[in-house]
Structure 1
Amino acid sequence: MDLAHGGGNFEQRAALRPPPVVLIPGLAMSFYVWLNLFTTIPYPGKIGLDYNTLGTDWMVFYGAIRSVLDGNAPLIFDGDRFTDFLNTTFAGWLSSPLEFRPWAYPPGFLLILLPFAPLGFFGSYVAFQIVTGALMVVALRASAGTSLSSRALLMVALACPASAINAIDGQAVFLVAALIVGGFGLLEQRPYLAGLVLGLLTFKPQFCILVPIALVAAGQWRALLTAGLSALAMMIASGLIFGWDLWLRWFPVILENLVSPNPKWTEYGRMWGHSVYTCAVLLGAPERLASLIQLLATLGAAVSVVIAFRSRLGTREKTAVFLAATVLAAPHSGPYDATLLVIATAFWLMAREAPLPLWCWTLAFMIWLVPMLSPPLLFPVGRIAPLLPVLLMALLLRPGVSALPGER
């Protein structure tokens, strides 16, 4: 967590090192969650939350691509049958049956999963985490420039508790982070390539809804065009490879869930996350009011992105605002998505003058601990988690924050 400026002297590096009161418990919590990963298969739930087994989310991804390749594509759009399929297929891996695990992603995601399908379940699970983690490392290295120790940034992103939970579940936040950080890092110098990268975020629609808003606010019309073409290319390629029937089935399912969400998905999926909607419901708001609060949070996130991308903020600060706004706006997010907040926090700390006051490190520590307070369904204190990205965006957008020398 040594967020030192790469070209600075020893005193600068020491000034930007977290104080022991933050560093020691932060590392201890990270070690604890990573230890949970290695004990999940032999002793699930013995030292922390019971994750059942490793890769339960990857079972959904792998089960979907295998079903499609095996000629049983309609299965993935029936949540109950698909869950039964997963419980039967992975009975030897699971310590208990999965409750409800539907496939809710667009068929374009299948293109990303296709190269991993021949590796088998465990091989593909490990390979996906390694490959997407490496892509995140490349993107963060490119973003570090000369104002931050890239080694420290990589350690923060890879070692945080959220990344450990991403690895436990077999989720895709490393890829999301790589596309966001890499795409916006390319925006000024290579807008066409930036758009192509950002367009790939459509594989998880909840994380791409703010992309066109950011590009329009920045006046990056070329990137906006290529982002649309990138998303369209994913759609066409998946239709040609897997059949257009997948898209014809997916659109009605998504529209139906928007109008009248599946109660099982709300109970076993959404309520186990920490979105604004989830936390509002857990704090006592009726479902309609919680949906309204989520909508207002999404609009607020969009406004923050517009302000950031029309400002004189540096690339990293704009990216940090986008990362925080994306987590806030997402109608569903999990503890692993806090990796995006950790990266945003690192970028925010980079923008501040050393020495950093204790309150900065305290806020960073609170964001670091978000996954430890998840799910809010079990840990009431976690229900205030959506306030953290709001606070982070406010600090990034406050008057006086601007690009550091040499960043642009």
Structure 2
Amino acid sequence: MDLAQGDLAHGGSSFEQRDLLRPPAAVLVPGLLMSFYVWLILLTTIPYPGKIGLDYNTLGTDWMVFYGAIRSVLDGNAPLIFDGDRFTDFLNTAFAGWLSKPLEFRPWAYPPSFLLMLLPFGPLGFFGSYVAFQVVTGALLALALRASAAAALPSSALVVAALVCPASAINAINGQAVFLVAALIVGGFGLLERRPYLGGLVLGLLTFKPQFCILVPIALIAAGQWRALLASGSSALAMMIASGLIFGWDLWVRWFPLILENLVSPSEKWIEFGRMWGHSVYTCAVLLGAPERLASWIQLLATLGAAVSVVIAFRSRLGTREKTAVFLAATVLAAPHSGPYDVTLLVIAAAFWLMARAAPLPLWCWTLAFMIWLLPMLSPPLLFPVARIAPLLPVLLIVLLLRPGVFNLDTRAIEA
């Protein structure tokens, strides 16, 4: 069968695709049912939290952190957001009518530049801003994915796969920002070949969540995209300067020591309620019995391995989508803190990987994609021991993407 590969990094041309990628019923039906179940949890969380699944307390508990931070800054109480205990007390008081029980520990750990992105949503009130942020960022992701789609997987199917997967449902339940992260990664790398300056500017915005931008300069250097590298640095610097001018430089003075402390000697509360409820390599290593120091070294090795895979991908002749897929999987692997909602990045990476293979696909390919789709339903690893091997999924995906010969076109499929 033909492989739609119109965006090869080095001047590839378009090929016709006779058969679209169609998942077998054995994968499609349970995938849709499980996705429906998680979205049903969203609809039942406010009236019946925890009755049909994990108890998420209420909708938008992570958005409470974002909204509480921007409101605190706008109301002249910026120092509050850098005191985890006081900030948690503030959230419990401000949202007592929303919460089914008090939050245990919800600190603000993001750079002040994130406040710039939250600023337009501040005047909308809590629930209005929560809904608006999910809709706007979801729309941005849809636009980025539509631009990256190909005949192998139509844009509508790609958008639906990303936005209705269980990870995206959990993102909506928590009020997290993975749609924005994914949109910036997919959109930024999609622009590199045609408009490197604009692509770099988009990628620089990822600094609002530092754990997802650490591989960006490595990818751009490996690809020789010096203009994009300059643009990404300029974008990040512009966000820093703008946030300092708007909110005051004191926020940056307070944030740098805080983030350094979280990296070097994090508090017990941050480890217990932050990292241990995620599914990073560090978290899974600790839950599998590794001492904390050894787990930190394993996380460092995973980050270095992720960086190497990005270098290999962006120095290769892989297409833009395949390079982006490697970056997405490597980013999840390298992140020192991630949650089940971040699996949306892996779902998109898996979709790009499937698009790189000639249809019809063998069952094992769909099975791997289904395992990635299913992963958030077995999270967090703290509660579901089987999820403690979750880091193997991005590793396997990266290996398959980089494996020699995976991306060779079947010359029989090329029409004259």
Asked whether 1:391 is paired with 2:396, we answer: yes
What is the deviation of 1:146? 4.0
Out of 17, 26, 32, the residue aligned to residue 27 of structure 1 is: 32
What is the deviation of 1:214? 0.1
2: distance between equivalents of 1:101 and 1:42? 23
Out of 11, 17, 20, the residue aligned to residue 8 of structure 1 is: 17
2: distance between equivalents of 1:403 and 1:135? 32
1: distance between equivalents of 2:408 and 2:271? 42
Secondary structure at the aligned position of 1:304 is classed as helix
Aligned positions of 1:30-69 closer than 5 A: 30-69=35-74
What is the deviation of 1:187? 0.4
What is the deviation of 1:259? 1.5
Q: Is the 8 A contact 1:194 1:223 kept in 2?
A: yes
Provide the residue aligned with 1:263 in structure 2: 268
Tell me the matched-pair count: 400
In the TM superposition, what whole-angstrom CA distance separates every residue of 1:265-306 from its partner, at most 9, and x where no partner exists? 100111000000000000000000000000000000000000
In structure 2, give the amino acid aligned to 1:177. A
Provide the residue aligned with 1:291 in structure 2: 296
Q: Is the 8 A contact 1:210 1:326 kept in 2?
A: yes
Percent pairwise identity? 86
What is the deviation of 1:403? 7.5
Q: Is the 8 A contact 2:84 2:106 kept in 1?
A: yes
Provide the residue aligned with 1:188 in structure 2: 193
Q: Is the 8 A contact 1:314 1:403 kept in 2?
A: no
1: distance between equivalents of 2:96 and 2:297? 40
1: distance between equivalents of 2:408 and 2:157? 20
Q: Is the 8 A contact 1:308 1:397 kept in 2?
A: yes
Out of 272, 277, 283, the residue aligned to residue 278 of structure 1 is: 283
Q: Which moved more, 1:22-31 or 1:61-70?
A: 22-31
Aligned positions of 1:1-400 closer than 5 A: 8-9=17-18, 12-13=19-20, 16-400=21-405
In the TM superposition, what whole-angstrom CA distance separates every residue of 1:236-268 from its partner, at most 9, and x where no partner exists? 000000000000000011111222101101001
In the TM superposition, what whole-angstrom CA distance separates every residue of 1:220-248 from its partner, at most 9, and x where no partner exists? 00000000000000000000000000000
- The structure 1 segments of at least 4 consecutive aligned residues displaced by more than 2 Å after TM superposition are 3-9, 145-148, 401-406
Q: Which moved more, 1:141-150 or 1:168-177?
A: 141-150
In structure 2, give the amino acid aligned to 1:297. A
1: distance between equivalents of 2:216 and 2:396? 21
2: distance between equivalents of 1:182 and 1:402? 22
CA distance 1:251–1:403, change in 2 (3 Å): farther
Cα RMSD, aligned residues only: 1.5
Q: Is the 8 A contact 2:113 2:239 kept in 1?
A: yes
In structure 2, give the amino acid aligned to 1:123. G
TM-score under structure 2 length normalisation = 0.94
Q: Name stretches of at least 5 consecutive residues in structure 1 with no aligned partner.
A: none
1: distance between equivalents of 2:75 and 2:16? 54
CA distance 1:320–1:343, change in 2 (3 Å): same
Structure possessing the higher relative contact order (Cα contacts under 8 Å, 6 or more residues apart): 2
Secondary structure at the aligned position of 2:125 is classed as helix
1: distance between equivalents of 2:148 and 2:123? 33
1: distance between equivalents of 2:64 and 2:262? 22
Q: Name stretches of at least 5 consecutive residues in structure 2 with no aligned partner.
A: 6-14
Q: Which moved more, 1:248-257 or 1:102-111?
A: 248-257
